[in-house]
Amino acid sequence: MGLTRRELLIAGAGCSAITALGDPRMPNIIDTHVHFYDPTRPQGVPWPPKSDALLYRTVLPPQYKAVAGSFVTGVVIVEASAWLEDNQWILDLAADNPLIVGFVGHLNPGADGFGENLARFSKNRLFRGIRVSGGDIAKGVSQQAFMDDLRRLAEAGLSMDALGNSSMVAPLITIAEKIPLLRLVIDHMPVEPPGWKPDAMRELARNPHVYSKVSTVLKRVDGKVSDDPAAYKASLDEVWDMFGADRVMYGSNWPVSENLAPYPAVFNIVKQYVTARGAADSDKYFSKNSKACYRWIERT
């Protein structure tokens, strides 16, 4: 990807931050939202489309390490493919890649075979939960089979990531009330879910098992992406106020994040914000909270 001089300067500033985080006094870094896929596989990939010049390329652990540096302790992979067997593909990939400490798979609650597939994949300790779209959540919350499958998920000690727009917040409040032990993760805050309302999100956040994944912070305004951490402080403050220091966690959304800025620049924004909150909050945000939520696996 060709970068402008400004983007290179931003990346350089981020690299300085990464170097600083190599200091052993700094917290471990777990990136809880990374996508790995390989369009060169014989079967190809269902996402991203070939028309996406930025994303349609091989993105695997070597490519991630090349942009993120060696400071990241581990990553949680979030499955972007709807193909059932791609769950196994990621688990097979993870077997030889200790960088991967957890995997959020793709299964559809309420669908035939959910229980069997959940039992199959959760035998692997790296399988830590599933991601469900906001549309499926909105439709499923009134369906017995959907809710029963979410109870199975909770009983297995697994979590559910939620990805969608603001229409999913009310159904998530219902799910949190009816299945209070199910750990729920709201993806891509504070920019997403699009159109979310503070009052509704605050009500959802009252459940102690609902987490905010701070994985989309940067945004484009008038065609430009600011590299000034102060531009994002108000939105980050709002998330921290709602969820508290114990239920926010770091995610990069790489490689999708490269639509806005190089990895080091994306990281540097949240690094500066969280570091200013003190060492204890930094440790929670970058490692401890994701451990409590996903119960990811220590690997050597």
What are the pLDDT digits (tens) for 166-177?
Answer: 999 999 999 999
Rounded Cα distance between 286 and 241, Å, is 17
Chain centroid to Cα 128, Å, comes to: 12
The structural architecture, per CATH, of the domain 5-18+27-294 is Alpha-Beta Barrel (3.20)
User: How is residue 59 annotated by DSSP?
Assistant: B
Compute, in degrees rounded to 10, the torsion defined by CA atoms 252, 295, 210, 82: 60
Per-residue burial over 223-256, b if 16 or more Cβ lie within 10 Å, else e, is: eebebebeebeeebeebbebbebebbbbbbbbbb
Other C-beta atoms closer than 10 Å to the C-beta of 124 total 18
Confidence of residue 265 (pLDDT cuts 50, 70, 90): very high
In tens, the pLDDT along 103-147 reads 999 999 999 999 999 999 999 999 999 999 999 999 999 999 999
Residue spans of the domains in the chain: they are 5-18+27-294
pLDDT score at 26:
53
Q: Is the pLDDT of residue 228 over 50?
A: yes
Confidence of residue 22 (pLDDT cuts 50, 70, 90): very low
Which residues partner with 225 through β-bridges? 220
pLDDT score at 190:
98
* Nearest Cα to Cα of residue 215 among 93, 35, 69: 35
Q: Is the pLDDT of residue 163 over 60?
A: yes
